[in-house]
Amino acid sequence: MVDQMRPLGLGRPRGPDFLPGSVRRPEEPLPPLLPFRAQPPPSAPGRGRLLLTAALVAAVVGGGAGVTGAWLTGTSQPPPVALPRSTAGPVSAPGGLGSIAAQVLPSVVSVETAGGSGSGFVIDTAGHILTNEHVVSSSVWVSVVFDDGRRASAQVIGSDEDNDLAVLAVDPGPGLAPAVLGRSGDVTVGDQVLAIGSPLGLSGTVTAGIVSAVDREVPFGAGGTRTTAVQTDASINPGNSGGPLVNARGEVIGVNTAILARRGGGSTGIGFAIPIDRAANVAERIIRD
């Protein structure tokens, strides 16, 4: 049976599924990306918890079965193996992934609305936050949660549905930490990147990968407009939408927006980010107007 995949963003579904492995002729258009709805707020314990519980039960039962089998056969358990472990402590080399994440995390926020949640990041000291339009679609006032747990009310001051971008405003204060914006024009294939956000409501999540392609033409936005995006294999899931994709210097090079996922959702290592050169121009226009 052919395993179906569908392109997903992080908003409302649009367009048909497609089959992996089929060859797209050059004259055929790419299928439109299907945005996820913003990640709904948690309610009751879900399947993930049940799976974790099942795994624990299986581990306990499996361990008991091993002991019982040994007793029945009259043999004893072998002594435990003690493998050598490093005592060097946390990796803290300059330029390491940990230092990059620590640099950027204070700039990243979780964005919460009545309809769900997503991510965003502070772009200046005036209190402006950039996110995806589909995260805050139809919302005027939203709530943002900073990396240190502070919560603030935010106003949607403008959006661009075609580019799937929106700008929020919070009261400026000493706690704001604007992200450093890089230049997506300088990005090359193979560059190391981090995706930071709140996938599935797990705030402050950091995933690593590389730039898989630049100027990847994909259809997304309100009318399925064909535009270019940065493609990455860093894990991106519902709730990452609107969060930053950063380079090895901790500079934002894109706004995480869409993924190509198997039917039922989940990351397959094919994600797309709006290039920061375009996103910054849109944000500046929104703030100016």
Name the residues annotated as catalytic.
134, 164, 241
For residue 122, list its beta bridge partners.
Answer: 129
CA distance 78 to 76: 6
| Residue among 124, 111, 132 at smallest CA distance from 172 | 124
Using CA atoms, how far residue 213 sits from 162, 218, 225, 266, 275, in Å, is 22, 12, 19, 20, 12
Q: How many CA atoms lie within 13 A of 8 on its CB side?
A: 26
In 3D space, the residue among 71, 159, 150 whose CA is nearest the CA of residue 106 turns out to be: 150
How are beta strands 271-275 and 226-232 bridged, if at all? Answer: antiparallel
Q: In sequence order, which residues have a C-beta less than 8 Å from that of residue 163 and are 6 or more positions away?
A: 133, 221, 227, 274, 278, 279, 282
d(CA 102, CA 90): 14
Extract the tokens encoding 266.
């989940």
Amino acid letter at 49? R
CA distances from 233 to 78, 191, 230, 260 (A): 42, 11, 10, 10
89 contacts: CB under 8 Å, gap ≥ 6: none
